[in-house]
């Protein structure tokens, strides 16, 4: 989300809820990766969002001429350092380490397993990249459902989005959809094109300078392919 | 080139069916996020551009020993690829001043001394493999806790990128790649190096100056080094797994403790890669690695290959490479190579020879390369298919009403027919093209299979009386469009489109057209659109394979309708005559006198309307052959038609039939060969050719022809059944049973069903087929005519073998009462006579049985028909054996074993010593020494 100047309070709230929904997973994973318990991590992300809102930091993100990804991570780290530690220390008494990794590993989510070998920031990046890529797909799905094309998207999904289910051969899919193979191929091509646009739009909301979209996109690619 | 040699994620993760990577990053519905993100900056058909290294936070030059990593415009190092364990850079060797690929291993791996020394060992081994298909390792070094090595920089793309961009490859290209990769494996094997991570992203394609492709395997020796390191870090390597799951061998899954990893493991991975090249996907997909492992040991999903018309040898090669047990695979890379080579040779000897010459040039080094190159170029050109040759692929039916498929088929055939009348063009018969898809991807491959330079693709859309025809003329060598056009016409005007398309193609291919040919092409066979529509419907039935009664009936019905609507429709009359006559001969239609008369009248009407119409002359000749067995007159007309229809494979084929009936088996074979040139993939033709070999008891040649058919239509029931019949005739009942057991047949497959029943009788296990036959006969299909009665004969025989004589009697009685009236209608139907003779024999009415056999014998002397003429003798031998006339039976059998013929029961293979031994009808002769001698003999070929 490019932090635009909201037009009304409702719009602000809506924008904020969208924002929080989008960037909650990487922030949460980062905290979990650092060893916070699930409950603590949830509280911390909530607190961090509240903090952002209070400080009106989102507008600043836009002015920073940077990437939301690095900006948010930096802010979270600052938040942890400046705000949270103080608060927790006061509450729990002393600079004692509150969570221990060993204790909490067993309850780590299945998704966390795959990031175990990464650094905290690497984990954040990976979850970030996954979130952006998934959101772009979700947005596209929503659009297709609105256009009444949910069914054929379901049919075409394996061709474009991979997954553990092998795509049927194209002839079979064309037959099931009752269209000629040439039409199916055109659809697939358009679907890829639309996803490409959707992904670019999603990425665009996270960078302040449109010129950064390509670089950020390539970065996401690197993160996911290397992981 | 991702470095994915070392995916160390947990075994619980699945594998993406599309990209083959572990599914650790998935969307809410299991989408593979790696696939999705790849789409992000790839236009369709574009290959991923390797982004500059964003991974390095500090821009600026990186140096490893005397290698300087290249720096991109953005100031970051130029990355060629990156994986979990290493990054590959483009770098410059500052001493030799050349570009290399520099692979720098992750610190976490490099910091372990054991891993480092193993890595060095492997790098040394890999450096010793000198082979043009392997990217060579040229330097190894350690620096500041990192280890790295330099290897030959391959300028090209990975197979993965290629397949992503262009989709599955034609067989010829895939085979060529596998062949080169097998050469690489052989070289590595000689140095005792196993790759362990063969997959499309580790195989690169490099184009050489002459446009040829060289395969380069990269990352030799890397995976193995990475592997044992994995054991050090229990968290990451619980599975101890090395390789990319979708391409890994079963023994890699099992772990090296259980099975050693050797070249055979690489052969397996190369097999998966081969599969991927052909289909664009991997054969085994699973939600988890465990699932993949289980699937690897199950059946290969051969359905992925359906419709690709892969030769049997290729499928066998895939099966052997992908055998779960290493012992069942090619044991060495050399062995693999010779299997690939022979595949190549069988599949396309000409291309193979050309390639060998090209490879020799490479081997000879640079000496005289220009001269040889020019020579080769000329050779290659002269070996190319003639320019004025074309195959018309099936047209796609784009009509919303699928019923209109006949229309697309008809338009295609009519264009093809017009083209085939141009003597200056080589036109492949429709029967050879009908198994291809409408708009296939591997055009070059198809053109090669058919030996043509051009392909015509098309589509037809019909709605009410509007028709849109789209055609594309493609030059196969470079896949370029020579001409494409769309015609929107009224149904009434469709004929002009066919003429126009044919004329334009002739012009495009610069074919010379005589004045008469131009006339024929432009001819409008009818002005009545309804008549033409009916004709196209009838035509579509005649184009189906096989003489199934339903096809003959459908064709006959619509063609009659066509000529009723336009009595001056000469082509319609001619085709009707052909349908009637071939139905009469093959008994796809009930062979009544009336049918024969209709065939004659139709041919004569066609000839009267248009005396020079090739189709009409052909119909007349075919009538003389099929209905009158007047072979001399038939040959006269057929030869005349041969002049008029230069490219029509049906004519030499008919001549082959005629000569076969005349007993001129050699001449017949020559005509078969001529027809095969015009119609190389006509299943019916190949099948008839195989039948000739079967009649001659030349079983190995027959089986080779049958394999040719199965390469085109892998599941063709009639062909599988013929194979089973050969096995029976050779006395190999288990082999026959293995072929027949999977087939589930209804009454529509006459010969096939009879063969199953015969098998059960030969095996003395009749109970299953008794139930099956009873079920079929409970609802007899009346259109099948006497065939129901014939089935009842088989049921009676099975019941008798089962020892239920009362039931057998009852069944036979019913069969007799069903068939006797039919014989009155079809007094010359020798099949019917044979059935009735055997039925009477079963019922104990010996006199009637012998009388029928004799009558058939009188009506069909062998010299009148060498193919089926001896059938009554076969019946006679059986009847005589049963009615207590062993002398006659044995002398008849002696005669039969000495001649080629087509047998009356469960059609085809003639009697052989093995069948005499197995067939229970000859039971009464068992103790006769003369019979024993026959059983012990080998039948004359």
Does a structural domain hold residue B640? yes
Q: Using the beta-carbon criterion (under 8 Å), do A195 and B36 form an inter-chain contact?
A: yes
Does a structural domain hold residue B362? no
Residue B224: the pLDDT is 55
Domain shared by B184 and B200, yes or no: yes
Domain shared by B789 and B889, yes or no: yes
Q: Are strands B203-207 and B79-82 parallel, antiparallel or unpaired?
A: unpaired
**Residue A97 predicted with pLDDT over 70:** no
pLDDT level of residue B81 (50, 70, 90 thresholds) = low
B292–A contact, CB cutoff 8 A: no
B439–A contact, CB cutoff 8 A: yes
Q: What is the pLDDT of residues B426-456, one digit of tens each?
A: 888 777 787 777 777 777 888 888 888 888 8
Among B24, B37, B436, B437, the strongest candidate for a mutation testing the A interface, having the largest count of A CBs within 10 A, is: B37
Instruction: Tokens for B665, please give them.
Output: 């088996």
Mean pLDDT of B855-884: 88
Rounded CA Rg of chain B: 33
Chain A nearest-CA distance from B26, in A, is 8
**Residue B89 predicted with pLDDT over 50:** yes
pLDDT level of residue B877 (50, 70, 90 thresholds) = very high
* Candidate from B12-26, B41-55, B394-408, B510-524 with smallest mean pLDDT: B41-55
Does a structural domain hold residue B704? no
Residue A5: the pLDDT is 45
pLDDT level of residue B383 (50, 70, 90 thresholds) = very low
- Domain boundary at B627, B645, B663, which? B645
Residue B472: the pLDDT is 81
Domain shared by B738 and B607, yes or no: no
Q: Is the Cα dihedral B542, B544, B545, B547 positive or negative?
A: negative
Please list the alpha-helical segments (H only) found in B468-548: 494-508, 515-522, 529-542
Q: Which residue has the higher pLDDT, B559 or B255?
A: B559
Residue A112: the pLDDT is 62
Q: Are strands B396-397 and B389-392 parallel, antiparallel or unpaired?
A: unpaired
**Residue B43 predicted with pLDDT over 80:** no
Q: Using the beta-carbon criterion (under 8 Å), do A200 and B40 form an inter-chain contact?
A: yes
A117–B contact, CB cutoff 8 A: yes
616-645 of B, contacting A, C-beta below 8 A? none
Does a structural domain hold residue B776? yes
Residue B704: the pLDDT is 92
Domain shared by B216 and B248, yes or no: yes
**Residue B550 predicted with pLDDT over 80:** no
Residue appearing with tokens 């079983």: B699
Per-position b or e across B263-285, b if 16+ CB within 10 A of its CB: bbbbbbbbbbbbbbbbbbbbbbb
Instruction: Give A195's contacts in chain B (Cβ within 8 Å).
Output: 36, 39-40
Residue A164: the pLDDT is 72
Where is B911: in which H helix or E strand? Answer: none
Domain shared by B545 and B463, yes or no: no
> B10, B27, B14, B18: which is closest to B295 by C-alpha?
B14
- Say which CATH number the domain at B876 has: 1.25.40.10
Chain A nearest-CA distance from B344, in A, is 26
Q: Which residue has the higher pLDDT, B30 or B122?
A: B30
Structural domain span for residue B148: 50-152
Q: How far apart are CA B535 and CA B517, in angstroms?
A: 22
* Candidate from A2-6, B478-482, B485-489, B890-894 with smallest mean pLDDT: A2-6
- Burial (CB < 10 A; 0-12, 13-18, 19+), residue B424, is middle
B601 neighbors B565 (Cβ within 8 angstroms): no
Residue B602: the pLDDT is 96
Domain shared by B220 and B344, yes or no: yes
Q: What is the pLDDT of residues B619-666, one digit of tens each?
A: 999 999 999 989 999 999 999 998 888 778 889 999 999 999 988 999
Domain shared by B228 and B134, yes or no: no
Maximum pairwise Cα distance, chain A: 71
Q: Which residue has the higher pLDDT, A106 or B645?
A: B645
Residue B595: the pLDDT is 93
* Candidate from B56-65, B83-92, B703-712 with smallest mean pLDDT: B56-65
- Burial (CB < 10 A; 0-12, 13-18, 19+), residue B441, is middle
Does a structural domain hold residue B652? no
Residue B76: the pLDDT is 62
Highest mean pLDDT among A143-157, B102-116, B286-300, B591-605: B591-605
Instruction: Tokens for B166, please give them.
Output: 């262009």
Q: What is the pLDDT of residues B811-867, one digit of tens each?
A: 999 999 989 988 888 888 888 899 999 999 999 999 999 999 988 888 877 777 888
Does a structural domain hold residue B381? no
User: Chains A and B: how many Cβ contacts under 8 Å?
Assistant: 162
Domain shared by B434 and B518, yes or no: yes
Instruction: Tokens for B876, please give them.
Output: 């006679």
Residue A78: the pLDDT is 81
Q: How far apart are CA B305 and CA B314, in angstroms?
A: 11
- Say which CATH number the domain at B92 has: 3.30.200.20
Residue B715: the pLDDT is 76
- Domain boundary at B645, B662, B679, which? B645
- DSSP assignment of B796-819 equals HHHHHHTT-HHHHHHHHHHHHHHH
Domain shared by B889 and B814, yes or no: yes
Residue B910: the pLDDT is 93
Residue B206: the pLDDT is 84
- Domain boundary at B494, B524, B554, which? B524
The half-sphere exposure of B837 on its side-chain side, counting CA atoms within 13 A, is: 29
A161–B contact, CB cutoff 8 A: yes
Q: What is the pLDDT of residues A194-214, one digit of tens each?
A: 888 888 888 887 877 777 788
Mean pLDDT of B73-85: 64
Split into its structural domains, chain B has a count of: 5
Domain shared by B763 and B797, yes or no: yes
Within 10 angstroms of residue B202's Cβ, the number of other Cβ atoms is: 28
Q: What is the pLDDT of residues A128-169, one digit of tens each?
A: 888 888 888 988 888 888 777 777 788 888 888 877 776 667
pLDDT level of residue B107 (50, 70, 90 thresholds) = low
Question: Looking at chain B, which residue has its C-alpha nearest residue A136?
Answer: B36
Q: Which residue has the higher pLDDT, B931 or A176?
A: B931
Mean pLDDT of B884-894: 92
Instruction: Give A221's contacts in chain B (Cβ within 8 Å).
Output: 37-38, 40-41, 48, 51
Does a structural domain hold residue B553? yes
Q: Using the beta-carbon criterion (under 8 Å), do A163 and B16 form an inter-chain contact?
A: yes
Q: How far is CA B180 from CA A86, B175, B200, B204, B213, in A?
A: 66, 9, 14, 11, 10
Please list the alpha-helical segments (H only) found in A120-212: 120-146, 150-161, 170-177, 181-204
> B834, B814, B812, B813: which is closest to B823 by C-alpha?
B834
Domain shared by B517 and B548, yes or no: no
Q: Which residue has the higher pLDDT, B782 or B591?
A: B591
- Which of B24, B31, B55 comes nearest A161 by C-beta? B31
B182 neighbors B131 (Cβ within 8 angstroms): no
B491 neighbors B485 (Cβ within 8 angstroms): no
Residue B402: the pLDDT is 74
Q: Using the beta-carbon criterion (under 8 Å), do A199 and B36 form an inter-chain contact?
A: yes
- Which of A192, A195, A224 comes nearest B34 by C-beta? A224
Q: What predicted TM-score, i.e. pTM, was given to this entire model?
A: 0.46
Domain shared by B463 and B544, yes or no: no
Does a structural domain hold residue B883? yes
Q: How far apart are CA B578 and CA B556, in angstroms?
A: 10
B902 neighbors B691 (Cβ within 8 angstroms): yes
Question: Looking at chain A, which residue has its C-alpha nearest residue B30?
Answer: A163
Instruction: Give B52's contacts in chain A (Cβ within 8 Å).
Output: 218
B511 neighbors B388 (Cβ within 8 angstroms): yes
Question: Looking at chain B, which residue has its C-alpha nearest residue A123?
Answer: B25
């Amino acid at each position: 989300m490019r932090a635009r100047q909201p037009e009304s309070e409702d719009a602000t709230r809506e924008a904020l809820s969208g924002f929080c929904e989008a960037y909650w997973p990487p922030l949460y994973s980062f905290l979990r990766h650092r060893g916070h318990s699930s409950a603590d991590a949830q509280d911390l992300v909530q607190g961090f969002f509240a903090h952002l809102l209070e400080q009106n930091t989102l507008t600043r993100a836009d002015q920073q001429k940077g990437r939301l990804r690095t900006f948010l991570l930096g802010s979270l780290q600052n938040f942890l350092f400046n705000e949270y530690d103080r608060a927790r220390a006061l509450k729990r008494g002393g600079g004692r380490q509150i969570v221990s990794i060993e204790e909490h590993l067993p309850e780590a989510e299945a998704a966390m397993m795959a990031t175990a070998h990464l650094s905290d920031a690497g984990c954040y990046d990976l979850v970030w990249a996954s979130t952006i890529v998934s959101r772009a797909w979700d947005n596209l799905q929503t659009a297709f459902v609105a256009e009444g094309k949910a069914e054929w998207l379901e049919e075409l999904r394996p061709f474009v989005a991979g997954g553990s289910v092998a795509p049927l051969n194209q002839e079979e899919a064309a037959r099931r959809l009752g269209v000629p193979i040439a039409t199916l191929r055109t659809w697939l091509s358009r679907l890829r094109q639309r996803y490409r646009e959707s992904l670019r739009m999603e990425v665009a909301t996270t960078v302040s300078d449109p010129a950064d979209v390509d670089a950020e996109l390539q970065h996401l690619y690197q993160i996911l392919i290397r992981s | 080139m991702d470095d994915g040699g070392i995916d160390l994620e947990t075994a619980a993760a699945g594998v993406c069916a599309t990209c083959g990577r572990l599914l650790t990053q998935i969307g809410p519905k299991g989408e593979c996020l790696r696939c999705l993100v790849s789409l992000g900056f790839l236009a369709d058909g574009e290959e991923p551009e390797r982004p500059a290294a964003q991974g390095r936070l500090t821009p600026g030059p990186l140096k490893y020993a005397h290698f300087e990593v290249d720096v991109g415009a953005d100031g970051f190092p130029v990355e060629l690829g990156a994986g979990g364990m290493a990054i590959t850079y483009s770098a410059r060797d500052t001493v030799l001043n050349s570009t290399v690929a520099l692979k720098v291993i992750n610190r976490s791996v490099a910091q372990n001394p054991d891993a480092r020394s193993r890595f060095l060992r492997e790098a040394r081994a890999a450096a010793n493999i000198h082979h043009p298909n392997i990217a060579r390792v040229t330097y190894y070094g350690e620096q500041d806790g990192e280890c790295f090595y330099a290897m030959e920089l391959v300028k090209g793309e990975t197979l993965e990128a290629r397949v992503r961009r262009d989709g599955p490859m034609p067989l010829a290209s895939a085979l060529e790649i596998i062949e080169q990769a097998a050469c690489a494996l052989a070289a590595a094997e000689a140095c005792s190096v196993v790759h362990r991570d063969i997959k499309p992203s580790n195989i690169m394609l490099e184009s050489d100056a002459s446009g040829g492709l060289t395969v380069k395997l990269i990352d030799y020796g890397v995976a193995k080094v990475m592997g044992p390191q994995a054991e050090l870090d229990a968290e990451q390597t619980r599975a101890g797994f090395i390789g990319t799951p979708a391409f890994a061998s079963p023994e890699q899954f099992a772990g090296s403790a259980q099975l050693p990893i050797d070249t055979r493991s690489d052969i397996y991975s190369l097999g998966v890669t081969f599969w991927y090249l052909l289909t664009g996907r991997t054969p085994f997909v699973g939600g988890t690695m465990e699932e993949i492992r289980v699937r690897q040991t199950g059946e290969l999903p051969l359905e992925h290959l359906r419709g690709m018309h892969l030769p049997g040898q290729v499928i066998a090669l895939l099966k052997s490479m992908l055998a779960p047990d290493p012992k069942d695979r090619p044991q060495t890379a050399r062995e693999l190579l010779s299997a690939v080579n022979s595949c190549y040779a069988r599949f396309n000897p000409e291309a193979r020879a050309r390639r060998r010459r090209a490879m020799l040039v490479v081997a000879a080094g640079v000496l005289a390369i220009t001269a040889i190159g020019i020579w080769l170029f000329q050779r290659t050109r002269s070996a190319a298919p003639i320019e004025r040759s074309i195959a018309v692929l099936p047209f796609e039916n784009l009509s919303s009403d699928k019923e209109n498929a006949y229309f697309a088929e008809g338009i295609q055939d009519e264009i093809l027919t017009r083209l085939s009348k141009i003597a200056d063009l080589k036109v492949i018969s429709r029967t050879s093209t009908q198994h291809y898809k409408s708009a296939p991807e591997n055009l070059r491959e198809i053109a090669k299979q058919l030996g043509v330079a051009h392909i015509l693709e098309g589509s037809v859309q019909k709605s009410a009386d509007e028709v849109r025809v789209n055609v594309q003329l493609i030059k196969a060598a470079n896949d370029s469009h020579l001409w494409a056009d769309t015609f929107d016409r009224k149904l009434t005007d469709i004929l002009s489109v066919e003429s126009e398309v044919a004329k334009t193609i002739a012009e495009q291919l610069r074919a010379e057209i005589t004045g008469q040919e131009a006339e024929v092409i432009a001819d409008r066979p009818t002005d009545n659109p309804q008549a033409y529509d009916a004709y196209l419907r009838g035509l579509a039935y005649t184009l189906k394979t096989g003489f199934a009664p339903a096809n003959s009936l459908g064709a006959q019905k619509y063609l009659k309708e066509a000529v009723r609507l336009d009595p001056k429709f000469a082509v319609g009359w001619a085709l009707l005559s052909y349908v009637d006559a071939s139905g009469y001969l093959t008994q796809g239609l009930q062979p009544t006198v009336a049918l024969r008369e209709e065939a004659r009248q139709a041919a004569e009407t066609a000839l009267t309307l248009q005396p020079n119409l090739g189709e009409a002359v052909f119909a007349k000749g075919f009538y003389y052959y099929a209905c009158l067995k007047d072979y001399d007159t038939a040959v006269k007309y057929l030869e005349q038609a041969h002049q008029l229809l230069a490219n029509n494979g049906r004519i030499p084929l008919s001549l082959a039939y005629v000569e076969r009936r005349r007993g001129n088996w050699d001449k017949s074979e020559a005509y078969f060969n001529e027809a095969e040139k015009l119609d190389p993939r006509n299943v019916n033709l190949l099948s008839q050719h195989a039948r000739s070999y079967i009649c001659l008891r030349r079983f190995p040649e027959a089986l080779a022809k049958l394999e040719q058919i199965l390469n085109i239509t892998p599941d063709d029931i009639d062909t599988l059944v013929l194979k089973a019949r050969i096995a029976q005739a050779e006395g190999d009942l288990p082999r026959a049973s293995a072929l027949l057991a999977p087939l589930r047949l209804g009454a529509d497959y006459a010969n096939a069903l009879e063969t199953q029943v015969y098998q059960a009788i030969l095996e003395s296990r009749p109970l299953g087929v008794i139930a099956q036959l009873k079920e079929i006969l409970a609802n007899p299909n009346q259109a099948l005519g006497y065939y129901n009665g014939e089935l009842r004969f088989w049921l009676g025989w099975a019941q008798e073998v089962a020892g239920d004589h009362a039931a057998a009697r009852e069944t036979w009685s019913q069969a007799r009462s069903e068939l006797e009236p039919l014989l009155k209608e079809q007094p010359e139907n020798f099949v019917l006579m044979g059935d009735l003779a055997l039925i009477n024999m079963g019922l104990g009415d010996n006199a009637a049985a012998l009388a029928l056999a004799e009558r058939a014998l009188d009506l069909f002397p062998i010299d009148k028909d060498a193919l089926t003429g001896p059938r009554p003798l076969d019946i006679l031998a059986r009847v005589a054996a049963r009615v207590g006339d062993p002398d006659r039976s044995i002398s008849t059998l002696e005669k039969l074993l000495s001649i080629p013929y087509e047998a009356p029961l469960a059609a085809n293979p003639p009697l052989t010593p093995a069948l005499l031994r197995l067939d229970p009808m000859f039971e009464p002769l068992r103790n006769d020494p003369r019979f024993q001698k026959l059983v012990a003999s080998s039948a004359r070929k």
